[in-house]
A and B are shown apart, each in its own frame.
Chain A
């Protein structure tokens, strides 16, 4: 018993901050949130158990819930592939035969560091305003652009463009991945007269699959959680006409504007299930298209 203690004590001692945090800030709150999701709770009186009512209301009668899902899924489906495609293209351009790569890499990465800040969200709202810089550039070419931010038809695209602007970190990860592909594969292909496109589909893509998979999972989770830029650009409530009602913005409003903590907890749990499902599908499907180098020997 004593030996058991002395053997384990240092490990648990070093782990203790994380352990306390895990129980008090993660596990406890997750379970509490599950409990709240079955109650009506306004922070004034104690939570009152109402069974599945929150979930039933959400799926059958809450139009804004469906709107929020629609907005968020559209955003994820547009922003993630666009960002990854940009990142891969630029990474491949930077990968071979350039000496000044460091400068470009820095320029392309900078927006990713700044992009999630409030300052950039404020800037974006003005860039895409009716009289903003984007329309000024367009009118220079004789095109009359819409009022991007206040038009419900186009407002979501301004956020997709903001996401594309921040392709820096997947680009860096792709670059690291491209570097690890052996050069002689391309040289052999070159001698055999293989076209560039075939080199891309037959060498680059398969060997990069693990990295693509990693980026895809990470960026999808990230996109589902988008909050501050959507919050600022939509004036905090999903305007115009709920076209920017991101799931997280809706959740925030239910919780902290209307103090429907029980309902907001149910929303949070649905988000958790959605993200878990996506990650699960990605992992299950990965064995069909992702092969790791060291599996083969």
Chain B
């Protein structure tokens, strides 16, 4: 009898405990759900704030001139698409010229960066030679040096070579691995590849160049892709280099043309100016949408910009 009573008491106690546990679990789940809802609300609001300037730019580029600064609405009363066609021809030369110029500079710079930086990275990461660690620390030091310190002597150098008003001062340095960031990124990647591959290939009589070309490069496509995308975007947006080296409007890249547009037409043709601004951002946005994963992984692993 007595044992039965204690058993029953124990049972009810257990049941109560289970109930309490269930309630607290439910409570916690509800709390988590509420927490998530709050987070989403906040993040959506933050996203709107972050994207607002871009949407404002997009809407201003198709608004009639008198509406840009007078209405809060992002939706134009009439769509003025000829802002784009007028803006495209709003300078003495058509924007097609500037786009072609920018494309030439960018494509050649990307090729130069990929070749020269992967060369240097291969030497640092996989080859043994006297002075390697010394040069490696020098390379890391150059990452810190502000471009402005070398700017003036470089300008004097290139002026004496007669390279001002050509693309050579913008492109040739890229073929000399001047962007230490990419060397660093590739070193990090090359080091992860198994050494046995090189050793096996060496035993088979492969030259270092063959190992680089046939083994290291094909295995490093993600790193190459990240470097290519970033150098594309940075060169496309670069302003200081072209500003110094290009004075002739025929050689202008898109950022220089935009600046000229602001100075010559900006105050009278806002719609067109914004339309041209939008077109200058389009390649970057397309790249971002296509290669988002590579870009984001690239930053997380090397901490670029």
Chain A contact residues, CB within 8 Å of chain B: 4, 7-8, 10-12, 14-22, 24-26, 28-30, 32-33, 36, 43, 90, 93-94, 97-98, 100, 104-114, 116-120, 122-124, 126-127, 129, 131-133, 136-137, 140, 165, 169, 172-173, 175-176, 214-215, 218, 221-222, 224-225, 227-228, 231-232, 248, 251-252, 255-256, 261, 264-265, 268-269, 271-272, 275-276, 279
Please indicate which of the listed interface residues A172, A173, A221 has the most CB atoms of chain B within 10 Å of its own CB.
A172
A107 touching B296 by the CB < 8 A rule?
A: no
Q: Are B299 and A113 in contact (CB under 8 A)?
A: no
Q: Which of B35, B42, B173 contacts A25 (CB 8 A)?
A: B173
Q: Are A98 and B39 in contact (CB under 8 A)?
A: yes
Are the C-beta atoms of A122 and B239 separated by less than 8 Å?
A: no
9 example contacts (A-B, Cβ-Cβ < 8 A) are as follows A8-B130, A17-B176, A43-B156, A100-B40, A107-B47, A108-B47, A110-B50, A113-B288, A122-B273
Complex Cα spacing A138 to B74, Å: 16
| Residues of chain B with a CB closer than 8 A to A116's CB | 237
- B88 at interface, CB cutoff 8 A: no
Residues of B within 8 A of A108 (CB): 46-47, 50
B47 near A123 with CB under 8 A, answer no
The reply to whether the CB of B183 lies closer than 8 angstroms to some CB of chain A is yes
> Which of B50, B178, B209, B281 counts the most chain A CB atoms within 10 A?
B50
A165 adjacent to B152 (CB under 8 Å): no
Query: Does B185 interact with chain A (Cβ within 8 Å)?
Result: no
Nearest 7 pairs of A and B residues by beta carbon? A21-B176, A11-B129, A119-B277, A29-B153, A32-B153, A29-B150, A18-B120
Are B284 and A114 touching (Cβ within 8 A)? yes
- Inter-chain pairs besides A15-B123, A18-B119, A169-B305, 18 sampled, C-beta below 8 Å: A12-B123, A14-B123, A15-B129, A18-B123, A25-B176, A28-B157, A94-B43, A97-B36, A104-B43, A114-B54, A114-B284, A122-B262, A123-B274, A176-B301, A215-B303, A255-B152, A256-B244, A268-B151
B32 to chain A, nearest CB (A): 7
B258 A10 Cβ-Cβ under 8 A: no
Contact (Cβ within 8 A) A126 B120: no
Q: Which residues of A contact B273 (CB under 8 A)?
A: 122
A98 to chain B, nearest CB (A): 6
Cα A12 to Cα B120 in complex, Å, equals: 9
| Cβ-based interface call for B5 (8 A) | no
B305 touches A176 (CB 8 A): no
Flag if B208 contacts A126 (CB, 8 Å): no
* Cβ < 8 Å to A, chain B residues 263-305: 266, 270, 273-274, 276-278, 280-281, 284-285, 288, 292, 295-296, 299-301, 303-305
In the bound complex, do residue A117 and residue B281 qualify as a contact, i.e. CB atoms below 8 Å apart?
A: yes
Q: Which residue of B lies closest to A20 (CB)?
A: B176
- CB-nearest residue of chain B to A274: B146
Q: Of A12, A127, A140, A173, which is within 8 A of B303 by CB?
A: A173
B56 touching A133 by the CB < 8 A rule? yes
A12 in contact with B300 given A26-B150, A28-B153, A232-B262 (CB within 8 Å): no
- Assuming the A-B contacts A21-B177, A127-B53, are A26 and B69 also in contact, with contact meaning beta carbons closer than 8 angstroms in the complex? no
Interface presence of B72 (CB below 8 A): yes
> Closest CB-CB distance, B227 to chain A, in whole Å?
15
Whole-angstrom distance between the Cβ of B125 and the nearest chain A Cβ: 10
B57 partner residues in chain A, CB cutoff 8 A: 119, 123
Check A118–B153 contact: CB distance below 8 A.
no
Residue numbers in B under 8 Å from A15 (CB-CB): 119-120, 123-124, 129, 135
Which residues in A have their C-beta under 8 angstroms from that of B278?
Answer: 119
